[in-house]
Structure 1
């Protein structure tokens, strides 16, 4: 799908038709990321230190302990198995460019892609074989709000890059959905590395999409689901439900029954939640990382102050 990209400077409007960007698959230069000096080990809570932008780690059993802080600066961070991903916007670029940095369990750089947009969401599949992200981009001609999203996937073993999943064959109410304003965000994969979930936004609505990566197709399960996060047992998704403009309620959806449970966090949460385990959901809010029971039974508790973009190691 070709898109028209608009660049606006002051009152001057420049229209460039059919612009196609090419991203080279290249290793990251050695001096682009400082030495991480941090090894991923089981039982860690990792997060972005908001004062420095660096990735920090503390024991999950004592998350308020003084963290070990790495030299790695990210705007978004995620980890699973022996793979991590760091989204880092390049300063001073206009339009914005983001480095999608794939790392090993010592936070050494394995691969980098540089893509248009600013960081929004980042995840790694449970087996560590897929890295996926969402970036905000500006200028799509159909975007009445002035921005849209690009959700992409990188296959760690093969080096295959899917710059956008917008070509996914998706079905809504049994019919192929082909609207021109389709956007995807908030991908989350099952342990099998094939079944995945994402938000589809179009014509003022959002849908939870269940996807089949091998056959590259998906179907809508229900409306008003954003930023899904699949539980470790694959049976539920945590998500943010829109209550009103700019206000979301954190909830959990049972995939077998489509029964929804609102969590005890009553503040608006604009984040892709993360499952610590099958019983607890983590998220970033007000410059802190919080935890809340996934069954709605208990209030939230703060795990780490001055923190965002939580990740956990199994």
Structure 2
């Protein structure tokens, strides 16, 4: 009969401790590698590039007239900072603030900034409500990755959209959450999905309803947005006081209401060989669509610089994660024109 020597409990404990220590060292090394890699990428992005635009630190107030604000995308220490240039001379040196945002918009002395703050294991997303001096009035956590932001013409209402799942509107599966804040009462509507929906003249209820891309009218009640359900997108007109939305037209995404309130610029899904979306303008009185001269795919919520001109971001050729601002006439004539290199989220003051 063969006998087996009894196990040494202390020896077994030592082996477990050694395995745990080794695992901890591996994880620590991996974490350090990730942090150093991220720091290296951030360091490269923070280095000004030769031939790039001149960007200097300065002060901005939202009460300034004749200036165009945007999120600066040029490499250097002011990358992602809210910056501004004279509207009449967009190619002039940029004045950058110390406020950094993924998305920014402003109107009538009210600003909104969507931020992603990186962390070791997970980034933190939040929205800042700003006063005319870009001081933070209130901070709200975001339920997902920043996508769209708008302020009503009076500055009273602010809206923002985040991706709760998925990473872009071109993804097969994604969901969004759109919130609206009354800056006078600080009443927050966490999700437009609580509003009643009228689709094709009938009350509509579905579990797959998503909203994004709010744009406000000047009456502090009417708004327009995109409604997505059953794999279709619709332009909806909403009422903040009645908490309802009604569909107006199909295949409309990221609407932007003109200053005179008569037209909506939007991106239309076309699924051509060269583009996923094309930019159009919809006449709200006739629902007639006018295709714009831009033939590249525009995945942005365009901004009206005035009643005749739209601005939007397009990816910079050969630069991942970088975009330039372009303009195009709103009547379908003319040709696209480069407005500002290395920029996004335009907002005229």
- TM-score past 0.5 threshold: yes
- Aligned partner of 2:126 among 96, 99, 108: 99
Q: Distance in 1 between matches of 2:327 and 2:130?
A: 26
SS at match of 1:166: helix
TM-score, normalised with respect to structure 2: 0.76
- Aligned partner of 2:61 among 39, 44, 64: 39
Kindly indicate which of the two structures has a greater share of residues assigned to strand: 1
- Aligned partner of 1:205 among 215, 226, 232: 232
User: Per chain length, whose mean CA-contact separation is higher, i.e. which structure has more relative contact order (CA < 8 Å, sep 6+)?
Assistant: 1
Q: Distance in 2 between matches of 1:154 and 1:124?
A: 10
Q: Are positions 1:281 and 2:303 aligned together?
A: no
Q: Distance in 2 between matches of 1:131 and 1:66?
A: 30
Q: Distance in 2 between matches of 1:248 and 1:94?
A: 34
Q: Distance in 2 between matches of 1:213 and 1:80?
A: 19
Q: 1:97 to 1:138 in 2, by over 3 A?
A: farther
Equivalent in the alignment of 1:25: none
Q: Is the 8 A contact 1:262 1:296 kept in 2?
A: yes
SS at match of 2:142: strand
**What are the Cα deviations for residues 208-249 of structure 1, in whole angstroms up to 9, with x where unaligned?**
001111111111001000000000111000000000187100
Q: Distance in 1 between matches of 2:174 and 2:347?
A: 27
**What are the Cα deviations for residues 256-292 of structure 1, in whole angstroms up to 9, with x where unaligned?**
0000000101100000001111111111112111111
Q: Is the 8 A contact 1:96 1:118 kept in 2?
A: no
- Count, aligned residues: 275
Equivalent in the alignment of 2:327: 291
**What are the Cα deviations for residues 174-233 of structure 1, in whole angstroms up to 9, with x where unaligned?**
111111100000001100111110000111100000111111111100100000000011
Q: C-alpha displacement at 1:173, in angstroms?
A: 1.2
Q: Is the 8 A contact 1:200 1:208 kept in 2?
A: yes
**What are the Cα deviations for residues 41-85 of structure 1, in whole angstroms up to 9, with x where unaligned?**
111111111131111100000001001011110000000011010
Equivalent in the alignment of 1:183: 210
Please give the residue correspondences for 1:78-117 in structure 2 after superposition, counting only pairs within 5 Å. Answer: 78-92=105-119, 97-117=124-144
Q: Is the 8 A contact 2:59 2:95 kept in 1?
A: no
Equivalent in the alignment of 1:8: none
Q: Is the 8 A contact 1:78 1:309 kept in 2?
A: yes
Over aligned residue pairs, what C-alpha RMSD do you find? Answer: 1.7
Q: C-alpha displacement at 1:145, in angstroms?
A: 4.0
Q: Distance in 1 between matches of 2:108 and 2:345?
A: 17
Runs of 4+ in 1 over 6 A off after TM superposition: none
Q: Is the 8 A contact 2:58 2:95 kept in 1?
A: no
Unaligned runs of 5+ in 2: 1-56, 316-322
Q: C-alpha displacement at 1:97, in angstroms?
A: 3.9
Q: Are positions 1:62 and 2:89 aligned together?
A: yes
SS at match of 2:192: coil
- Aligned partner of 2:80 among 53, 71, 76: 53
Q: 1:153 to 1:93 in 2, by over 3 A?
A: farther
Equivalent in the alignment of 2:289: 260
Q: Is the 8 A contact 1:96 1:116 kept in 2?
A: no
> Which is greater in Rg?
2
